[in-house]
Amino acid sequence: MDQSALDATPRTPTSAAADSGVTLHVCVTCRAGEEGQQDQAAPRAGRRLHDALAEAQRHDGAPHFRIAEVECLSNCDRGCSAALTGPGRWSYIYGDLSEASVDDLLLGASRYAATEDGLVPWRERPTILRRGVIARIPPAPKPV
């Protein structure tokens, strides 16, 4: 849990939010408890989540981040998973996601893209991103 952000003041969006380099990676191989699925041709839960996110973002009209599919985030016990990353920012891995999480994921990713460091104040994060956080990873150090 990111307790340090509990009392942080809201951050203002950066002027280059659309060019932020932020990516929401969505595991398209996640089964989310559907291992016994009879129809192997049916899209997996992770694929459905990715496609729903991409469709909702298209309707938004002003993407502030990229949505990318990934084969596996190695978080299989926690349902559908996604990761938020960006240059010079903290990265996050989330689990327990579903198609019902689309609006909250888009909102959370937009708020993340509006920061310079990836630290969205705790109270400004959608509940699904507060409860479903698996890991918070520091930014890679800048080369010397």
Examine residue 73 and state whether it is found in any structural domain, yes or no.
Answer: yes
Examine residue 17 and state whether it is found in any structural domain, yes or no.
Answer: no
Are the C-beta atoms of 26 and 95 separated by less than 8 Å? Answer: no
**pLDDT tens digits, residue range 51-72?**
999 999 988 776 789 999 999 9
**pLDDT tens digits, residue range 95-106?**
999 999 999 999
pLDDT at 19 over 70: no
Pairing of the two strands 23-27 and 80-85: antiparallel
Examine residue 18 and state whether it is found in any structural domain, yes or no.
Answer: no
pLDDT of 35 reads 65
pLDDT at 26 over 50: yes
Examine residue 88 and state whether it is found in any structural domain, yes or no.
Answer: yes
Domain count, the chain: 1
| CATH number of the structural domain spanning residue 66 | 3.40.30.10
Nearest CA among 58, 50, 62, 48 for reference residue 105:
50
Examine residue 7 and state whether it is found in any structural domain, yes or no.
Answer: no
Residue range(s) defining the domain that contains residue 79: 23-33+42-137
